[in-house]
Amino acid sequence: MAARPPSAAAHGRDAPAHSGARDDSWPAAASSALYDIVSGPFRPSRMLGVSRLAVYLEVEGPHEATVIALLARDAVRLPNGLVLVGTQSVGPFADVAAATSVRIGRCSAVFDGPTGPCTVRAGRWWRPPAPRSPLTLRDTARATAELSRALGAAAGGLPSYAAAAPEGDLATPSRADDACARLIGRGPGLTPSGDDLVCGYLLAARHLGGPQAAAPLAAAAQRAGSATTALSAALIGHAAAGRACPEAVALLDALSGHAPVAPALATLRGIGHTSGTDLALGLLAGARAALRHRGDRRPRTQRPRTGSAP
C-alpha cells in the first residue's frame, strides 16, 4: 500500500515534513501528489529543462519515471510542483543549471555541482486545489455558453482545424485515438498547445461529466504519451486524475456554477504565450462533452400512447 501524505490539516497549514534542515538548503513545499517519490529513498534524476522560474526533473521510480517541477514562488503552481518558499524568483536556479547530477528523496532534491551540493528541502506539503462539485446541469450549460461567447474566435497555438479536434464525439477509443494523433505533441515548447487542449478537455469532461466522460481520451492520451515531452505527458496524467494549476481549476469552478466566468478566464489566459488560451479552449470542449454525456444519461419520459376511443 502506498504511503499516505500528511493529514489534510497539515496541507492547509504547511506542516513540517522534515526536520533538521541545514543552513545552506533552500526550503520548499511539495505537492501531496509527489509524496511517495519525494519522501522515499534517494533516486537518481535528470534535468529536462531549466528556465528563470522552473527546473524540470525526471526521477527514476520503482515502476515508471516521475516528473517534478521545481518552481519559484511566483511561478504557475503546477500539480507536480516542488515550490520554493523564499521570495526570490531565481533563487538557486543559476546554481542547479550547472549541476552534474541530481538525486531526489528523503524530502530533498540534491544537485551536485562543481562548487558542491545544492539542496532544496521539502519542509511543507500543499494539496493541489480541487473545484467544487457542479451545481446543476442548467448552471453548467449556462456557464459553458458564457465561456463560448467570451472565447469567441480566440486562437491558441494551433491552427483552427487542429484545435477543433476535441470538439467532436470522443466517446469511442478510435475517435479518441484520432484526436490524440492530431493534438498530442503538436506545437512548440515543453507543454505543446495540443497537449494543453487535451489537459483542459480531460479536466472539464471528468469533473462535469464524471470519470467515464473522460476515460476514452485519457486512455488514448496515455497511449500517445511518447509523442510529446516527458513534462507534458506528466501534466496530461495529472489532468486525467483531476489535478491542474489553480488558474485552470478556478475556471472549472466557474463552469460548475460557483463563480463568474469572465474573471477566471482572464486570469487563465494570462498564463504563458498561448498555454492559458489553449487550456481554456480545451475546458470548453470538455464541458460540451460533459453536457452531452449527462444529457444522454437523463431518463427519457415516454409520451402516452394515443388512440381512438372505444
Which residue in 247, 277, 211 sits closest to 129, CA to CA? 247
Give per-residue pLDDT as tens, 231-285: 999 999 999 999 999 999 999 999 999 999 999 999 999 999 999 999 999 999 9
Give per-residue pLDDT as tens, 26-70: 899 999 999 999 999 999 999 998 888 899 999 998 878 999 999
Q: What is the pLDDT of residue 196?
A: 96
Residue 104: Cβ within 10 Å count: 28
Cell readout for 80 is 507536480
- In the predicted model, what is the mean pLDDT of residues 162-172? 77
Q: What is the rounded average pLDDT for all residues in the chain?
A: 86
Whole-Å CA distances, 259 to 66, 155, 253, 289 = 34, 24, 7, 21
DSSP class of residue 154 equals -
What DSSP line would sit under 195-255, residue for residue?
A: HHHHHHHHHHHHHHH-HHHHHHHHHHHHHTGGGS-HHHHHHHHHHHTT---HHHHHHHHHH
Cell readout for 9 is 490539516
pTM of the model: 0.85
Give per-residue pLDDT as tens, 18-30: 444 344 688 999 9
8 Å CB contact between 251 and 283: yes
Rounded to a whole number of angstroms, the distance between the first and last alpha carbons of the chain is 69
Q: What is the pLDDT of residue 93?
A: 78
Give the separation between CA 231 and CA 281, rounded to whole angstroms.
20
In degrees, to the nearest 5, what angle opens at C-alpha 257 toward C-alphas 284 and 221?
A: 35
> For the chain, how many residues are written?
310
DSSP class of residue 32 equals G
Q: What is the pLDDT of residue 114?
A: 81
Residue 71: Cβ within 10 Å count: 25
Q: What is the pLDDT of residue 165?
A: 79
Q: What is the pLDDT of residue 145?
A: 97
8 Å CB contact between 241 and 201: no
User: In the structure, what pLDDT confidence band is assigned to residue 166 with cuts at 50, 70 and 90?
Assistant: confident
Q: What is the pLDDT of residue 52?
A: 83
pLDDT exceeds cutoff 70 at 146: yes
β-sheet bridge partners, residue 27? 121
Give per-residue pLDDT as tens, 70-119: 999 989 999 999 999 875 655 557 777 778 899 999 999 999 988 788 89
The distance between the two most distant Cα atoms of the chain, rounded to a whole number of Å, is 99
β-sheet bridge partners, residue 29? 83, 124
Distance between alpha carbon 89 and the CA centroid of its chain, in Å? 22
Helical segments of 93-192, H only? 93-96, 137-151, 160-163, 173-183
Q: What is the pLDDT of residue 151?
A: 94
Q: What is the pLDDT of residue 134?
A: 95
Q: What is the pLDDT of residue 24?
A: 62
Q: Are strands 54-59 and 43-50 parallel, antiparallel or unpaired?
A: antiparallel
29: helix, strand or coil? strand
Which residue in 25, 34, 28 sits closest to 16, CA to CA? 28
Q: What is the pLDDT of residue 6?
A: 52
Q: What is the pLDDT of residue 18?
A: 43
